Amino acid sequence: MGHYATRVNGMAIAVCRFVHTRIERLHRRAAEIPGLIPLAGGLPADELLPRNEIADALRAVQSSPTALQYGWPEGSEPLRHWIAKRLHARGASSVTADDVVVTAGAQQAIALAAAELVDPGRSVYVGVTSYPAAISALSLRGGVPSASRAAACAHYAMAGVSNPSGRDLLGRERDALLASGAPIVVDEAYAELRFDDRSERPLLVGAEDRVWHVGTVSKTLCPGLRVGWLVPPAGFRERVLERKHAADLQAGSLGQAALAHFLDRFDYDAHVRRVRGIYRQRAETLVQALERHAPGFRFEHPEGGFSVWVETDQRCDDVALLACALRRGVSLDPGRLFRPDGARNPLSFRLCFSYAPRDALEEGVRRVVAAVRDAERKYAA
């Protein structure tokens, strides 16, 4: 059974890679379309990136003895202290800088955790929908991402705000996940972008022996620095550092030094409050447009983050829908990317409100609705 499951999962991964390659080609083409309204990708808004302040920080640290040199695999000590301090403020008083490993974005943190936790051929709980790159990281380790918690060797969940739903799914599952006894990878990529400014106690509090805490500044500051972090259970820290060292020696010294300098002089919390308010306005605009122009679509008002998850009763190819959308001058993310089984029906997709200008969102929704009609006709032909 184990060999069969591994073989079937390998076939699924191959099919998934083929489909993802098609989708990537379409998204690359989208970048070249003049006037396209970007509702795909989960990118922070360009105008909210603190460009000048980061440029100042990069200039300031270029003469530092460490910024342009090799560093240790656990990462910059000042940066690890900043991360630990923020976790302390939320109730994780046991976490110290020594517990933190700085990674190349949250994605590397997820991959490091997956390397330790995933048993080939075993189920890994990710929910009904989940972050596609986490699904890929778990699959590539031989795990079988699943919407069922039964017999899962590990769990992956997003805290505060989930992707693609924009909802707090972990809040509903917190007790069940803890009661499972299995290791839990908790991804806080969007946790600081809750529209109500609520900050929950980290799940690792009281479960430090099996919660793998993942964080990043990619969504709140900028993804280009590629700075994230992992707080693994203490018993795994040395093995994680060995894997980190073997993978890339360390996260980039320059980005870490610049970020530490930036955070020491910049009001990070004021910045987060500002961007949170702007994303809330864009979310409201997108939701109102969906209510006006797509009454047959199903979705929930997001509680934060960058996106809305849309479900329909239509049955057609969601990759074909993306192609139709691009012809209409709008992009979106096909729903199969977010489902652990890769299912394409019923037709679903993610719409991101974070990157497109607010005044383009309503027109973007109109184009999406037209693209769905195009895809239906094509499917029926």
Q: Specify the pTM.
A: 0.93
Exposure of 129 in the CB half-sphere (CA atoms within 13 A) = 23
Asked if 258 and 57 touch (Cβ cutoff 8 Å), the reply is: yes
Count Cβ atoms below 10 Å from residue 182 Cβ, excluding itself.
17
- Select from 178, 169, 167, 125 the least CA-distant residue to 150: 125
Sorted by sequence, the CB contacts under 8 Å of residue 91 that are 6+ apart come out as: 201, 202, 205
Exposure of 224 in the CB half-sphere (CA atoms within 13 A) = 10
Along the 381 residues of the chain, how does pLDDT read in single tens digits?
333 333 334 444 444 555 678 889 988 988 888 999 999 999 999 999 999 999 999 999 999 989 999 999 999 999 999 999 999 999 999 999 999 999 999 999 999 999 999 999 999 999 999 999 999 999 999 999 999 998 999 999 999 999 999 999 988 888 888 888 999 999 999 999 999 999 889 999 989 999 999 999 999 999 999 999 999 999 999 999 999 999 999 999 999 999 999 999 999 999 999 999 999 999 999 999 999 999 999 999 999 999 999 999 988 899 999 999 999 999 999 999 999 998 888 899 999 999 999 999 999 999 999 999 999 998 887
Walk me through the domains of the chain, giving residue ranges and CATH numbers.
18-47+270-380 (3.90.1150.10), 51-265 (3.40.640.10)
Count Cβ atoms below 10 Å from residue 276 Cβ, excluding itself.
17
Residue 298: strand, helix, or coil: strand
Sign (positive or negative) of CA dihedral 158, 161, 167, 173: positive
Asked if 237 and 231 touch (Cβ cutoff 8 Å), the reply is: no
Asked if 246 and 108 touch (Cβ cutoff 8 Å), the reply is: no
- Report residue 304 as tokens: 């934060």
Q: What angle do CA 197, 198, 201 make, to 5 degrees?
A: 140
